[in-house]
Chains A and B, each alone.
Chain A
Amino acid sequence: AQSVTQPDIHITVSEGASLELRCNYSYGATPYLFWYVQSPGQGLQLLLKYFSGDTLVQGIKGFEAEFKRSQSSFNLRKPSVHWSDAAEYFCAVAPLGSGNTGKLIFGQGTTLQVKP
């Protein structure tokens, strides 16, 4: 079955430290891959996406993600975390195939806490 796994439910990092959020997917072919961020009371905001091409993609707010086909992973990184990055982060895939609708399958999310 298609699935997205975010192994870390909760991560705490110090402000200024680097960050890596993990995402693994289970799917027969390489799907389209996304990272979204959700702040309290806010809707989901797209950070970045991967469709094809360069496996290192840049997003907004200084985030980047690397697609690794061999590991079925799409990990999100940021070199220096800011207190405003505290939020919930979701990895999502859009399965490909005939009749696909573009619906997203989300992981369960990783809550990021930033220590001052």
Chain B
Amino acid sequence: DTGVSQDPRHKITKRGQNVTFRCDPISEHNRLYWYRQTLGQGPEFLTYFQNEAQLEKSRLLSDRFSAERPKGSFSTLEIQRTEQGDSAMYLCASSPVVGLETQYFGPGTRLLVL
């Protein structure tokens, strides 16, 4: 069990550019979550997948954000036309089975929009 991995770990981009982040959950975890963490704050829920189905999206997830989880394995989070306010740490977590099991977090992708 290698844990949740995220790629890249750091991303610097210019305002207006598109960025895509990848999350590889622990194998066979059917639940996958994305959170956003800004400096000095706790993580905030963005979206949730059960297998390949995206079942919930936070109002924080504007139209510029899109997430996918094809085939119920890895997930991608894309931000289009980035804004400086998008600068944050983007965290991915996965959990096993159906139910409120423990979420295991990846190391995060730190995004800086210039």
Contacts and interface: CB of A to CB of B under 8 A. Distances in A.
- Chain B interface size band reads 20 to 34
A42 B107 contact: yes
- Chain A interface size band reads 20 to 34
Contacts of B100: 32, 51, 94, 96, 100, 102
B63 interface: no
Interface string B74-114: 00000000000000000101010001111111111000000
A105 B105 contact: no
A101 B44 CA distance: 14
Contacts of A36: 105
Contacts of A105: 45
Contacts of B105: 36, 43-45
A102 B55 CA distance: 11
A51 B101 CA distance: 10
Interface of B: 4, 31, 33, 35, 40-45, 48, 50, 55-56, 91, 93, 95, 99-108
5 contacts: A44-B43, A44-B93, A51-B100, A96-B100, A105-B45
Interface of A: 4, 32, 34, 36, 41-46, 49, 51, 90, 92, 94, 96, 100-109
Given A104-B43, A104-B103, 8 more contacts: A43-B4, A49-B102, A51-B100, A96-B100, A101-B56, A102-B33, A104-B35, A107-B42
